[in-house]
A and B are shown apart, each in its own frame.
Chain A
Amino acid sequence: MSDVAIEAIPAVETPLRRFIADYCANRLALAALVVVLVLALLSLLAPWIAPQNPYDLTQISIFDNMLKPGERSMDGNLFVLGTDEQGRDMLSAMLYGLKMSLFVGAASTAMGLAVGVSLGVTAAYFGGRIDAAIMRLVDLQLSFPAILIALILLAVLGKGVDKVILALTLVQWAYYARTVRGNALVERRREYIEAAQCLALPRSRIIFRHLLPNCMAPLIVIATVQVAHAISLEATLSFLGVGVPITEPSLGLLISNGYKYILSGKYWVSLFPGLLLLFTILTINLVGDHLRDLLNPRLKT
């Protein structure tokens, strides 16, 4: 067959490069992505860039309590966003709180993904009874409001960051399982899966090396939006007092702490963490929305 002129299409455009170019074409989405990355970076660097460690009792003074934004303490420290009732610098508390919120959001999403994706892809590959069993569990899970399930779980499990993550994982996995099953049902009809079966490759390899990587694209969208969802859910739980412990506050807990002072005009204790939370969730959702537009083939020309 050497007479066949072999000329492959040159690799000018890989799908990833094209995707990145498409993403960057939208200014707003690009800005949102930059903001999200900056927020994540700030929260990671909190121990080094925050003016004080808000949980080190030696660094805070009760005499600095409830300072207005921009006020100076007696020993001359500037509190840009004010202090709370214990004299903590709000800016520092918010950076640490953001870190906790993002961590809980990302960790629970990652764990939810792992559980949901494994179950969903298994259900789709095997079909029949295994599929029915897993999907009934998913239906059951999705028929209760997420917040209710999380509340019940935390009431049983007690407080703690790990418990919150566990609860949020259990709330989220069903979304991933359902989405990935839908994709996998389509993908598993493709001939490359049959080819792998024909080559007598073991099932686990077919599921995880062939089927799964081809079902991931839409999950990225959902996972992004779910991080935002998990953060707001965690904030709700913390606000209700069943979330993270008081020693490691998240943004939600900060809002809750300051809530009682709002009516007395000391708005900053609640408002600033609230704005930061809103802003974080908004930008993450913007990123997620744009990813969805890009990955939805029906919107493509």
Chain B
Amino acid sequence: MSATLEVAGLETHFVTRAGVVKAVDGVSFSVDRGQVLGLVGESGSGKTVTGLSIMGLVDAPGRIAGGSIKLAGKELVGLDERGWRTIRGRKIAMIFQDPMMTLNPVLRVDTQMIEAIQAHEDVANDVARARCRDALGRVGIPSPEERLSAYPHQFSGGMRQRVAIAIALLHNPDLIIADEPTTALDVTIQAQIIAQVQKLAAETGAAIVWVTHDLAVVSGLSDRLAVMYAGRIIEEGPTAEVLTRPGHPYTAGLLASLPINNPRGRPLNQIPGSTPSLLRLPPGCPFAPRCGACQDDCTVTRPPETRFGMDRRLRCFHPLEASA
């Protein structure tokens, strides 16, 4: 049986005046039904572009330069706009950091939701409206009937994000891509949204790709974890294993720098240096200038993807722990 989403060797490039930006450079992963994949990485590492590529939303000057994206075995790369329209919003839904990317500020919530339903299904207005009411209720919005006829600006940030999630779930998609949906929200509201998504995923069996830069968020949510650095996945595996026994020096450095892993009031273990520009990557391992385990061979060729342990993948010549 094939996984819900299979991405293999995905490459998404942006052609700019300063050169070709390889925002996604050979990314492979798969997500099964009902599974949550956490995709973490720093700003500019290519998380959003990966998500947009899967949605077929990469605009010029960007294009998918190679690789394949399969949804339930069906190839999506190379699909024409008509083909995409039957998939986007119906089979795959995306939740953005800013819910106003999904919501139109001048239309009432019910108008937008009914429109979203009727874009893919031929149903009468009142049936669609009833479905919208249920959807709002499912994401925990109190008195959904009244809320349907409100405008987005009358909602709080957390509520807006719930409405965006409700819209994403309208067609029971096979795959949900959530791009930092809780980053702008408060701690208590973030916990509510995560709990809601967790529950809904379990109910509907959708596969979820949860993009974030916060290790702590995905640690409580995801089954598998993929860490991106400079357009590549440098480590991938079951969340608990990656977090307890990181193989890549970057993952290990991130974990070591968390305040919780340092004695209170003492200097934190820090990763030196700053994130490289994608236009001027060093020839070997992109992490080499910042890496404590770097050796001579690291600066010559890019580390290829290797299997690590039972069920993990890694891009590093000198993994931290040769696990069995």
Contact = CB atoms under 8 A, between A and B. Distances in A.
A and B touch in the complex (CB under 8 A): yes
Given A301-B60, A301-B61, A9 B272 contact: no
Given A7-B273, A301-B61, 10 more contacts: A3-B272, A4-B272, A4-B273, A5-B273, A5-B289, A5-B290, A9-B277, A13-B18, A21-B17, A301-B59
17 contacts: A3-B272, A4-B272, A4-B273, A5-B272, A5-B273, A5-B274, A5-B289, A5-B290, A7-B273, A7-B274, A9-B277, A12-B18, A13-B18, A21-B17, A301-B59, A301-B60, A301-B61
Interface string A251-270: 00000000000000000000
A48 B235 CA distance: 75
Contacts of B274: 5, 7
Contacts of B60: 301
Interface string A1-18: 001110101001100000
Nearest to A301: B61
Contacts of B18: 12-13
Contacts of B277: 9
Interface in A1-45: 3-5, 7, 9, 12-13, 21
B63 to A, nearest CB: 13
Contacts of B290: 5
Most buried by B among A7, A12, A21: A7
A188 to B, nearest CB: 23
Could you say which interface size class chain A belongs to?
under 10
Contacts of B273: 4-5, 7
Contacts of B17: 21
A3 B269 CA distance: 12
B69 to A, nearest CB: 23
A21 B18 CA distance: 12
Contacts of A4: 272-273
A81 B277 CA distance: 60
A113 B290 CA distance: 50
A166 B60 CA distance: 49
Interface string B1-45: 000000000000000011000000000000000000000000000
Contacts of A21: 17
Interface in A99-113: none
A13 B277 CA distance: 14
Interface in B257-295: 272-274, 277, 289-290
A158 to B, nearest CB: 52
Contacts of A301: 59-61
A26 to B, nearest CB: 14
Interface string A85-104: 00000000000000000000
Contacts of B61: 301
Nearest to A2: B272
Nearest to A5: B273
B280 to A, nearest CB: 9
B249 to A, nearest CB: 15
Most buried by B among A12, A21, A301: A301
Nearest to B276: A7
A13 B280 CA distance: 14
Nearest to B60: A301
Contacts of A9: 277
B251 to A, nearest CB: 20
A132 B60 CA distance: 44
Nearest to A3: B272
A169 B291 CA distance: 62
B19 to A, nearest CB: 11
Top 8 closest pairs, chain A to chain B, by CB: A5-B273, A4-B272, A3-B272, A5-B272, A5-B289, A301-B61, A4-B273, A9-B277
Nearest to A13: B18
Nearest to B18: A13
Contacts of B289: 5
A3 B271 CA distance: 10
A301 to B, nearest CB: 7
A3 B18 CA distance: 30
A147 B17 CA distance: 45
A301 B15 CA distance: 12
Interface string B287-315: 00110000000000000000000000000
Interface string A198-212: 000000000000000
A16 to B, nearest CB: 15
A5 to B, nearest CB: 4
A19 to B, nearest CB: 12
A205 to B, nearest CB: 33
A93 B212 CA distance: 70
